[in-house]
Amino acid sequence: MNKESVRIKKIKLFGDRVLEFARIYYRNKYGLAGLIILTFFIFLALFAPFIAPYTPSDTFLAEPFSPPSSKFLLGTDELGRDIFSLLIYGTWTSMTVGVLASLLTVIIGTFVGIYAGYYGGIVQSILMRLTDFFLILPALPLMIVLAAILGPSIWNIIFVISIVSWPVTARVIMSQTLSVKESSYVEASKALGAGDTYIIFRHILPNVTPLIFAYVILNIAGAILAEAGLSFLGLGDPSHISWGMMLYYADQFGALVAGIWWYILPPGLAISLLVLSFMMIGYALDEIINPRIRRR
């Protein structure tokens, strides 16, 4: 067997594994439902300009707070903007913030977790005290303060969410790293002369990757909620409409008191649904990855 055929063999085997994974995933009812909902939202986010009847800047100032009709499917807001269109355009913001914040969270968490777990000693102590510090601080007030100081921008929100939520991931990754580090296969690698970098990239990273995946997905749900919360409190980026911000404006203009349900319900439901879909996917992945749950 030459090098080329080994590569082909590996690609084929990888394909088989992906198919196998898809097959198991397909059998998981919750995971499948979550994936369908998510696909729907991704579709909305990507094709917003083609789906939405209006743009967020189209204002019908003469028709504020009009109830749902054939012209405005979900009615209008205080500026006479079409809520249905806002909802569709808002999908992009909520999703981007969620995904990017989660990726940043997990990248920081993985880096810290592996470093602390692998090198141990003083580095571990310092990093763990740092995560303790972040863990005991109440997340929401911290985020509010940080967001207020940094000012309203999408990037600041992403930064604020990640800075506050990475410690949980770091802890989990660290404990997994510790157990992989102690295993005989790492010892065997060391006995062959493998260096730290080799062991981290060849053994530890592959063994924590499933965890990383599950945490990225689960963190997206949390990040979407955090973004909605910050925006609802008026700390969002006004140049990007998001669902949280819609709720903020609805609250500002007394939609709740006035009984203008079409302003409140759609963004609220959209947030719940998107978060739910990520949660369902996350748990499905966890179930597939973690064979102990899978056996039941």
Partner 1 sequence: MSILEVNNLRVYYDTMRGEVKAVDGVSFKLEKGEIFSIVGESGCGKTTTSNTIMRILPPEAVIKSGSITFDGINLLEIPEKEMKKIRWKRIAMVFQNAMNALNPVKNVGSQIVDAITTHLNIPEAEAWRKVKELFELVGLDPSRLKDYPHEFSGGMRQRVFIAMALSCDPEILIADEPTTGLDVIVQRNILNLLRDLRKKLGLSIILITHDLAAVAQVSDKIAIMYAGKIVEYGNIYDIFTRPRHPYTYLLIKSFPKIGSKKERLVTIKGSPPSLINPPKGCRFHPRCPYAIEKCRIEEPPLVNINNKGLVACHLYDQLNLVI
Partner 2 sequence: MEILRVENIKKWFPVRTGILSSILFGEKQFIKAVDGVSFTIDEGEVFCLVGESGCGKTTLARLIARLIEPTDGRIYYKGRDIVQMKKKEFRPLRREIQIIFQNPYEALDPRMRIYDILMEPIKLHKKHFEGDPDERIRTVMRDVKLNPDEYLWKFPHELSGGERQRVSIARSLMLYPKLLLADEPASMLDASVRSSILNLLTDLREEYNLTLLYITHDLAQAWYLCERIAVMYLGVIVELGKTDDVINSPLHPYTKALISNIPIPDPRRKTEAIEIKGEVPSPINVPPGCRFHPRCPYFMEGKCDKETPKYLDVGDGHIVACHLYE
Region binding partner 2 by CB under 8 A among candidate stretches 94-102, 129-137, 206-214, 260-268: 206-214
Contact flag: residue 129 with partner 1 (CB under 8 A):
no
62 counts as binding partner 2 under rule CB under 8 A: no
Report phi then psi at 82, rounded to 5: -75, 120
Q: Which of 1, 62, 122, 149: binder of partner 2 (CB under 8 A)? A: 1
Which of the listed partners (partner 2, partner 1, none) does 295 bind, with a CB threshold of 5 to 8 Å by partner kind? partner 1
294 is in the binding site of which of partner 1, partner 2, none (Cβ under 5 to 8 A by kind)? partner 1
Cα gap 190→183, rounded to integer Å = 11
- Where does this chain touch partner 2 (CB under 8 A) — which range of 38-46, 77-85, 191-199, 262-270? 191-199
| By the rule CB under 8 A, 192 interacts with partner 2 | yes
CB of 268 to partner 2, least distance (A): 42
Q: Which stretch binds partner 1 (CB under 8 A): 102-110, 132-140, 232-240, 288-296?
A: 288-296
Q: 133 contacts which partner out of partner 1, partner 2, none, CB within 5 to 8 A by kind?
A: none
Q: Which of partner 1, partner 2, none interacts with 191 (beta carbon under 5 to 8 A by kind)? A: partner 2
Phi, psi of 68 (to 5 degrees): -55, 135
Beta-carbon contacts of 254 under 8 Å, excluding residues fewer than 6 positions away, are: none
What, of partner 1, partner 2, none, does residue 9 touch, CB below 5 to 8 Å by kind? partner 2
17 near partner 1 (CB under 8 A) = no
Kindly write out the interface string for residues 149-188 of this chain, putting x where it contacts partner 2 by CB under 8 A and - elsewhere.
Answer: ----------------------------------xxx-xx
Q: Does 206 bind partner 2 (CB under 8 A)?
A: yes
Q: At closest approach, how far in Å is the CB of 3 from partner 2?
A: 8
Q: Minimum distance from CB of 17 to partner 1 (Å)?
A: 18
The alpha carbon of 279 is separated from its chain's Cα centroid by a whole number of angstroms, namely: 10
296 binds partner 1 (CB under 8 A): yes
Instruction: Give the residue among 184, 186, 179, 188 at the shortest CA–CA distance from 208.
Output: 179
Burial group, residue 107, by CB count within 10 angstroms (0-12, 13-18, 19+): middle
Total residues contacting partner 2 by CB under 8 A comes to 22
- Specify the residue, 227 or 287, whose C-beta has the smaller distance to partner 1: 287
Cα separation, 235 vs 152, in Å, equals 6
Structure tokens at 148: 């207020």
CB of 296 to partner 1, least distance (A): 7
Give the whole-angstrom CA distance, residue 24 versus residue 104. Answer: 29
Measured from the CB atom, the residue of 24 and 108 that comes closer to partner 1 is 24
- Which residues bind to partner 1, rule: CB under 8 A? 294-296
